[in-house]
Chains A and B, each alone.
Chain A
Amino acid sequence: MQPSSAQTPPRANLAGWLYVSPLVIVLVPFFVAPILVVLVASFFATDGFGGLTPGFTLASYVEVLHSALTLKLYLATIKFTVLTWTFTLFIGFFVAYFLVFHVRSQLLAIGLFLLCTVPFWTSNIIRMISWIPLLGKEGLINQALLGTGAIGQPLEVLLFSDLAVVIAYVHQLTIFMIVPIFNSMARIDKKLIEAAIDTGASRFDILRLIVVPMSKSGIALGTIFVVSIVMGDFFVVKVMSGGGSASVVSAFYEDVGVLQYPTAAASAVLLTLVLVAVVSLILRTVDIRQEIAR
């Protein structure tokens, strides 16, 4: 509490609470309560058949932290996250750059921007399944490569592999990079670019010294989206790896499947803490509030 709040009249305080009440009404039952339930469950003991014994034990945490699998899964998840983040950032940044700085007509830019959202008119599952005819053993890519004689055997690495997982993630998540980066780039005054040209800056200088630093808030927001979605996902990994790979969430999904609720809850709490740490690290590097207020 800031000392000044003591001096604000109660009426103003009430108005403030009223302003945030819609958010509170949504967040408390749908976010805070479930998190608390999970947190409490993570300290419960279990009879191994889905029955929970209220109490306080760190057994689940000990189990999760001692498991070699946990480390392996985190490493796998971080690998997917880093790869996906790298590609979505690269593609997203340049798509946004193209739309903002190279498409002269604003109408066309908005049209192209909306075009980027077309894949989202179908469901996530359909978007993933659509890769099968493309990447599969008999898929278009293998057919084409075989046809040109570039390969003698169909490439099996294309589908049901880590590569396929990353492709599916990039396909799904690039838009989450494009939108915030586009937004922060669009607010760069075109006169700044002209002023930079006037001083003799090359295209690359402008990118490096003006556009990237001024798109930082968009990059940070996009990064938060992508990182938290990839780290919290198991479905894409499961489908696109054909069961060959797993992520942190897959493990506690399995736990839930075999009624090991406390370990699942402990894993979930752990993952939440990791994500909170990652996000706060991002926010520490980029002062989003200041960037947005600029």
Chain B
Amino acid sequence: MKSDRGDIELAGVCKSFDGVTNVVDGVNLRIADGAYCCFIGPSGCGKTTILRMIAGHEDPTAGEIVIGGQNVVGLAPVQRRTAMMFQSYALFPHLTVRENIAFALRVRGMPKRDRLRAADAMIEKVRLTQFAGRLPAQLSGGQQQRVALARAAITEPRVLLLDEPLSALDEQLRVQMRQELRRMQQELGITFIHVTHTQLEAIALADLVVVMEQGRIKQAGAAREVYAHPYDRYVAEFMGGQNVLSGRVEKVNGTSFTLAQAAPAGIEVPLKARSSIKVGDKIDIAVRRDDVALVRPGKELPPGCSTSLPSRVLAIEYQGYFVKVMLDTVPDDGFVAYVPEKTFFADPFTVGDVVMATWATGSALPLA
């Protein structure tokens, strides 16, 4: 019995190429049918290897890969009903766009007329009708990407795997093709698994963001969850948008604890439910860059702010709708405030100014 569902379960998946180090090290994950899932991490973190194992181009050293309720380890890509879109697309250079897209149908033995008709329908879907007779080398990067997408999608796979699909495109095209990928995913209604090292891409597209480090999953969750509530320092720094501070716990009361820091009064951080934080623990906390407000010394802190850290302005970058202010708040790590443009220019700072960096107590987040 073949299932049409494209839900995926990875159970204890490991991969080692040399028998010594695990490139993928005990990954457990469940991806819902029809989800858009992004694997994200620095190069060498094992994300592409996981993708290739799901695709059937690599066998796991240990563990199970279940697609639609069926363990697919050892099956060929066709039997898994997965299709892969390769990094740099791997289009057949000697075949036209139409022939490239019809290739999968050709090797399945579909008669020429039927397969060309099916290919033409797909070509229309990716809006390449006028280029159907061209060779891949005669297409732009974005067009090649659409051909690759169409070639993968024509077999009606239940899972489409995309290996850094946007990395070969320039910035503007990347944003445009990003939307196109999402549109195709919704149109096809199948599971997409997308590997990337660009945070923006992941959070813009994915229902499920999986952050990886050295073969392990650091955090998996909805885009907003991963961005706004990073699990630890690694995720916070990798996803960006957060200031990470570390310190020793000085006081713990029922609802919050205080972190010893440069600030005279320490940093007050709300306590998570059932947290085991004790006095004396060394701990990291995260504060979103756009939650940080900058106040000139001696002025009233905004309501809800109990912590204020004296800092010097190191650099200022104008970013359009906000201004990026870099501060020396903490000795070793960078500390950045994203100040809304209008707020900033109401009372602009210059490099070297002393300011108080503050934030609403509730917005600080203890990390694991």
**Are these two chains actual partners, yes or no?**
yes
List B contacts of A205 (CB < 8 A): 107
Tell yes or no: B94 within 8 A of A by CB.
yes
A210 to B92, CA, bound (A): 8
CB distance from B228 to the nearest CB of A (A): 36
Q: Output the nearest chain B residue to A202 by Cβ-Cβ distance.
A: B107
Chain B, 73-101, contact with A by CB distance < 8 Å: what is the 0/1 string?
Answer: 00011100011101110111110000000
| Interface status of A277 (Cβ within 8 A of chain B) | no
Q: Are B57 and A200 in contact (CB under 8 A)?
A: no
Q: Are B57 and A194 in contact (CB under 8 A)?
A: yes
In the bound assembly, the distance between CA atoms of A96 and B137 in angstroms comes to: 26
**Is the beta-carbon distance between A199 and B151 smaller than 8 angstroms?**
yes
Q: Name which residue of chain A comes closest to B151, CB basis.
A: A199
* Alpha-carbon distance between A210 and B104 when the two chains are bound, in angstroms: 13
Query: Complex formed: what's the CA distance from A209 to B104 in Å?
Result: 11
Contact of B93 with A294 in the complex, beta carbons under 8 Å: yes
B117-159 toward A: CB 8 Å interface, digit per residue (1/0)?
A: 0000000000000000000010000000000000110010000
- What's the A-B contact tally at a CB cutoff of 8 Å? 61
Contact pick for A191, options B76, B86, B155, CB 8 Å: B86
| Residues of B in contact with A (beta carbons under 8 Å apart) | 55, 57, 76-78, 82-84, 86-88, 90-94, 103-104, 106-108, 137, 151-152, 155
Choose one: A192, A200, A214, A294; the contact of B90 (CB below 8 Å): A192
Contact B137 A209 (CB under 8 A): no
Q: Shortest CB–CB separation between residue A99 and chain B, in angstroms?
A: 21
Task: Kindly state the separation between the CA atoms of A197 and B103 in the bound complex, as whole angstroms.
Answer: 11
Mask of A209-253 contacts with B, CB within 8 angstroms, 1/0: 110011000000000000000000000000000000000000000
Residues of A within 8 A of B78 (CB): 199-200
The answer on a CB contact under 8 Å between A200 and B86 is no
Q: How far is the CA of A18 from the CA of B104 in the complex (A)?
A: 51
| B83 to chain A: closest residue by CB | A198
Contact call A200/B155, Cβ cutoff below 8 A:
yes
Let me know if B90 and A189 touch, CB within 8 A. yes
- Say whether A125 faces chain B, with CB atoms less than 8 Å apart: no
Q: A200-B76, A201-B104, A209-B106 known; 8 other A-B pairs, CB under 8 Å?
A: A191-B87, A191-B90, A194-B86, A194-B90, A196-B107, A198-B152, A199-B151, A202-B107
CA distance A104 to B107 in the complex (A): 26
Asked whether, in the complex, the Cβ of A213 is within 8 Å of the Cβ of B94, the reply is yes
Instruction: Report yes or no: B107 in contact with A214, Cβ–Cβ below 8 A.
Output: no
Bound state CA distance, A70 and B82, in angstroms? 62
Is B92 a contact of A192 with CB atoms below 8 Å? yes
Q: Is A281 interfacial (CB-CB < 8 Å)? A: no
Q: Which residues of B are found within 8 Å of A196, using beta-carbon distances?
A: 92, 103, 107
- A195 at interface by CB-CB < 8 Å: yes
- Tell me, in angstroms, the Cα distance from A194 to B91 when the chains sit together: 11
Residues B92 and A198 in contact, CB atoms below 8 Å apart: no
B106 and chain A: residue at smallest CB distance: A209
Judge whether B93 and A214 touch: CB under 8 Å: yes
> Quick check: B77 and A191 within 8 Å, CB to CB?
no
Task: Say yes or no: A201 contacts B86, CB within 8 Å.
Answer: no
Distance, CA A294 to CA B57, complexed state (A) = 27
Which residues A155-205 have CB closer than 8 A to chain B? 189, 191-192, 194-202, 205
Interface centre among B55, B91, B94 (most CB of A within 10 A): B94
* Closest residue of A by beta carbon distance from B148: A195
A-B contact pairs, 16 of them (CB 8 A): A191-B90, A192-B92, A194-B57, A195-B86, A195-B90, A196-B92, A197-B57, A197-B77, A198-B83, A198-B152, A200-B76, A200-B108, A200-B155, A209-B103, A214-B93, A294-B94
Q: Which residues of A contact B93 (CB under 8 A)?
A: 192, 214, 294
> Whole-angstrom distance between the alpha carbons of A201 and B94 in the complex?
16
A231 to chain B, nearest CB (A): 30
* Residue of B107, B151, B155 with most partner-chain A CB within 10 A: B107
Closest to A189 in B: B90
Q: Out of A198, A202, A210, name the residue touching B77 (CB < 8 Å).
A: A198
* Interchain CB contact under 8 A, B57 and A199: no
Please name the residue on chain B nearest to A190 by beta carbon: B90
Which residue, A189, A191, A199, A213, has most C-beta atoms of chain B within 10 A?
A199
Which of chain B's residues have a CB closer than 8 A to the CB of A294? 93-94, 137
User: Of all chain A residues, which has the CB nearest B87?
Assistant: A191
Q: Pick the contact of A200: B55, B77, B87 (CB < 8 A).
A: B77
Which residues of chain A have C-beta atoms less than 8 A from B107's C-beta?
A: 196, 199-202, 205, 209
Q: State the CA gap A200–B57 with chains docked (Å).
A: 12
